[in-house]
Amino acid sequence: CCNSSRWGRTTCCSTFSPARPKSRAPAGFCSCGLSVANIVAEVSQSCSRCRHLSQSSEFFQRAKELADIFFRYIYDEHVTYGLRLAALGLPQTDEVAQRPNLSFLEAVREANMIFHLCESKYSEILAPALKSAPGGASPQLAQVQERRRAISCGLEAQIQQGLERTLAAIVGHVRHLLNSEQKAADFRPPIGGSDGGASISGGATHACAQVCAYISGHVLFRDELGIRLYRCLVEHLHKFKYSLSGGLQALCDLTEYMACLKPVRHSGFLVDGHDLYDVLCKLLNLLVIQPANLHDICEEESPSIAE
C-alpha cells in the first residue's frame, strides 16, 4: 500500500537544504507541504482499504504496519534527516568570522509545522484504527505508543541541540565583531583631553554599532541571547584599559546594547534577583569616578556590587 521509493530522502528532504538561493522564493514550503500531504493521503487511503478488505482479526496488524510506515517516512526519513542536514551548516568554532548560516531556524519552523500536522492526522486516521486492537495485542499497541512518544522526545532533543548551536554561532559572530572592530583607542584615546584622553563622540563605537545591527535581526533569541551576550561583553570589556572619557564611552556602548535588547527586558535578565546589565552598568560607572572618590562610592554600593 506504500511505495518507499516515492518517499525517500532525496524527494522529501530537499526542502530542508540550507543551500537554497536567497533570490528565490521559499519554494520549500510548497514542496514540503505536498510531500507530507501525499504521504498522509496515501496512508489514509490505505487505512480505508485495509478496513474494508481485511478480516477484523487482521485489521489491527495492518493499522500497526501503517503506523510504522507513517513514523518512518515522515519522521525518520523526512523531519529527522532534514533537521540533521540543516544542522550541518552551523559552525562549531567559538569565534565565527563569517555571518553564520542560520537556515536551521527555517528547518525548525518546517519541522514544527509538519509535526503538528501529522499529530493531528495520526489522531484522525490511525488512532481510531489502533483502538481496534484485540485484548492480546495490548503489548503491540503499547509499542506503537512508546515509539510515538520516543519520536516526540527525539525531535525535541534534536531541535534543542540545534538551537543551542545556533545561539553559539550568533554569539561567536558577535565575539568576532568585537575582537576585530573594537580598538584600544575607543576606551583609552590618545592623550589630549583634560583627563588624559580625548573626549568621546557621544555615540556608540563602531564595534558596538556592528554588534547591535547584527543581533537586532534575531528577535526570537533576544531573551537567551541577552544573557549570553552579557557574558561575552564582560569577557570583552576585561581586555581593555580605560581613561575617564573611555569609561563614558563604555557606558554609551552598554546603553546601546541594553536598548537593542529592550523589547524582551520586561523583567530584566535576572540572576539571583539581580539584573545582569544593571550590575554591569554600576561596575562601569566606577570607571568615570575620580580616584579620590572611589573608596566612598564602593562603600555605598558594596552590597549590590558584591552580589
At 277-302, the pLDDT tens digits run: 888 998 898 888 887 887 777 777 65
pLDDT score, position 77:
84
Nearest CA to 236 among 176, 288, 296? 176
Express each pLDDT in 234-264 by its tens digit: 999 999 999 989 999 999 999 999 888 876 6
Q: What does the alpha-carbon distance between residue 214 and residue 99 come to, in Å, rounded to a whole number?
A: 9
pLDDT score, position 6:
40
pLDDT score, position 304:
54
The reply to whether the predicted model has a pTM over 0.95 is no
Q: What does the alpha-carbon distance between residue 285 and residue 307 come to, in Å, rounded to a whole number?
A: 16
Distance of CA 265 to the CA centre of its chain: 18
Q: Which long-range contacts (CB under 8 A, 24 or more apart) does 108-116 make?
A: 108/83, 108/159, 108/162, 108/163, 110/15, 110/16, 110/28, 110/29, 110/32, 110/82, 111/79, 111/82, 111/83, 111/155, 111/159, 113/32, 114/32, 114/36, 114/74, 114/78, 114/79, 115/79, 115/152, 115/155
pLDDT score, position 17:
35
Q: Which residues, 6+ apart, have CB-to-CB distance to 55 below 8 Å?
A: none
Could you tell me if 70 and 39 are in contact, meaning their C-beta atoms sit under 8 angstroms apart? yes
Q: What does the alpha-carbon distance between residue 253 and residue 245 come to, in Å, rounded to a whole number?
A: 13
pLDDT score, position 305:
52
pLDDT score, position 301:
64
E strands along the chain, which residues?
Answer: 270-271, 274-275
Is the torsion defined by CA of 39, 40, 44, 45 positive or negative?
A: negative
Nearest CA to 185 among 193, 177, 173? 193
- Residue carrying C-alpha cell 544593571: 278
Strands 274-275 and 270-271: antiparallel
pLDDT score, position 21:
36
Q: What does the alpha-carbon distance between residue 178 and residue 82 come to, in Å, rounded to a whole number?
A: 33
Angle, alpha carbons 64-35-78 (nearest 5°): 65
What parts of the chain have a pLDDT lower than 70?
1-34, 133-137, 192-202, 219-220, 263-268, 270-273, 301-307
Distances from the Cα of 173 to the Cα of 85, 115, 212, 239, angstroms: 22, 31, 12, 18
Q: Is 271 helix (H, G, I), strand (E, B) or coil?
A: strand
88-107 residues labelled b (16+ CB within 10 A) or e (exposed)? ebbbeeeebeeebebbbebb
The DSSP 8-state label assigned to residue 286 in this structure reads G
